[in-house]
Amino acid sequence: MTAQPFPVREIVASRRPTRKDAARNYDALLAAAREAFAEHGAEASLEDIARRAGVGIGTLYRNFPTRRHLFETVYADEVNTLVRVAEEVADREPWDALTAWLDRFADYMVTKRAVREALNDETEIFAACRASMYGAGTPLLERAQRAGEARTDMDFTDLLRMVAGITATAFDSAEQRKRVMSIALDGVRTRL
């Protein structure tokens, strides 16, 4: 099956430096921020993020002048990853592609909750990210529906809300979360 085109563009909240050492620091800061936000929510310490990234606080502020800028960049980076995953899985069988994308979406929801605490849903970055995410994920659901593998009495928003509800729950382990997600997706899948 041919991959569907994804009419979405990368969301850019900040520019990644081109110099190799600066780019490494930027990437390390994003990874550290994602980890810290997942652990501590919006209250994660910027000093802790810099320490986790192995850089000084000045390097953090050079890349992300404000806490909000850091939140927006982490959020946009997560959504850009969801778009790339949609493109990567598009050639798989419809149900397989959809569930692979949803698995990554569940991981993204952890970061989104922390960022959402700090940012208003009405910002331009949220609107752009939402459009990008829907543009990437909707074709996967629609393809699974056309293939007779997913219920047709639901839309992409229904699916995302179901997954968001699951990820909002505290689980004992990632394996337990995956098991519950699998049970829920059994309710989405049609039997051929």
Task: Summarize the confidence of residues 131-149 as an average pLDDT.
Answer: 93
What's residue 68's pLDDT? 85
Tell me the pLDDT tens digit for each residue of 73-104: 888 888 888 899 999 999 999 999 999 999 88
For the entire predicted model, the pTM comes to: 0.78
**Counts of helices then strands in the chain (DSSP H, E):** 8, 0
d(CA 109, CA 171): 14
What's residue 169's pLDDT? 82
Domains in the chain, please, with CATH? 17-65 (1.10.10.60), 67-192 (1.10.357.10)
Residue 36 has pLDDT above 70, yes or no: yes
| SS3 state at 171 | coil
* Length, in residues, of the chain: 192
Residue 30 has pLDDT above 50, yes or no: yes
Tell me the pLDDT tens digit for each residue of 5-20: 454 556 666 777 778 9
Burial 91-116 (b: 16+ CB within 10 A, else e): ebebbebbbbbbbbbbbbbbbbbbbb
Cα–Cα nearest to 72, from 22, 25, 128: 128
- In the numeric block, which tokens belong to residue 72? 């927006």
What's residue 152's pLDDT? 95
Residue 139 has pLDDT above 90, yes or no: yes
